[in-house]
Amino acid sequence: MTDLLTTLVTQAERQTAHRRGVRPDSDVARAAAAAPAPRDFAAALREPGLAVIAEMKPRSPSKGALTDDYRPAERARAYRDGGAHALSVLTHEDGFGGRPEHLSVARAASGLPVLRKDFITDEYQLLEARALGADAVLLIVAALSAQRLTELLARTRELHMEALVETHDAEEVDTALEAGATVIGVNHRDLRDFTLDRTLSARLRPRVGAGRVLVAESGVRGAEDARALAGAGVDAVLVGELLMRSGDPGATIKELMT
């Protein structure tokens, strides 16, 4: 793992240990079993045209604060009204200013499928995600061994959620495919040095193969980038900073889909 990713995973593990101390696995498992049925995250991304996963996060580790007025319910409704196909909600506290309860709020306010975006290494986080109402979770290849990825992906499906499996290069795509991933994300940002390669999704599209959903992550600056990605065979874009900084995020989402 890169230094940044190691830090974020360590923070997430610490936050998870604290929550587990307050609410044991058995309690969370009961809440997960009683949660509303999951919405079909993958199906939402397979709709005609370029799908938009609109991301909610108060700040980022590299850019700092993205808004000084973070209201999850209002933002979720604005994203829905703009035509977003799904939401990505940061629940990581230290690096992104998120909280687990933001996910439940966003899901209830929007009616859309919601991805829990965090640094997941433990089954407790999956149970917690389902208890919160998550329809999907993020699993990052670079943060997990191949065996651990396979285990967590299987447990995700046992809980009837989808997984967005994030990759950054051809080797990681192969690892995701071997684990059985069907929704694969390509992060254009290299977490080692923060450089962006917006051509990465297009170059990895053939390796991902037909029949799987390809999600381009990071660095989408507007409609021109979105059109280029759609033309390269990308099924969906995950967009965060652009929307968080937009004065009219609903209108920005519409522009991305034109």
- Where are the domains positioned within the chain? 3-256
Catalytic, 117? Answer yes
For helices 170-179 and 200-208, the axis angle rounded to 10 degrees is: 40
Of the candidates 88, 110, 187, 201, the residue annotated as catalytic is: 187
Residue 193 pLDDT > 80: no
Residue 125 pLDDT > 80: yes
Residue 68 pLDDT > 80: yes
Of the candidates 57, 104, 128, 162, the residue annotated as catalytic is: 57
Of the candidates 88, 110, 128, 166, the residue annotated as catalytic is: 166
Residue 30 pLDDT > 90: yes
The pLDDT > 70 percentage for the chain reads 99
User: What residue has token string 């694969």?
Assistant: 184
User: In Å, what is the CA distance from 225 to each residue of 50, 62, 157?
Assistant: 12, 21, 32
Phi, psi of 39 (to 5 degrees): -85, 155
Catalytic, 217? Answer yes
Model confidence at 61, in pLDDT bands (50, 70, 90)?
confident
Catalytic, 254? Answer no
Model confidence at 252, in pLDDT bands (50, 70, 90)?
very high
The pLDDT > 90 percentage for the chain reads 89
Instruction: Name the CATH topology of 3-256.
Output: TIM Barrel (3.20.20)
pLDDT score at 85: 98
Mean of pLDDT values over 225-241: 96
Of the candidates 88, 117, 128, 172, the residue annotated as catalytic is: 117
pLDDT tens digits, residue range 162-185? 999 999 999 999 999 999 999 999
User: In Å, what is the CA distance from 222 to each residue of 10, 16, 78, 165, 218?
Assistant: 33, 35, 18, 24, 12
C-alpha–C-alpha distance, residues 113 and 95, integer Å = 24
Catalytic, 63? Answer no
Got the DSSP string for 77-106?
Answer: HHHHHHT-SEEEEE--HHHH---HHHHHHH
Catalytic, 158? Answer no
Model confidence at 1, in pLDDT bands (50, 70, 90)?
low
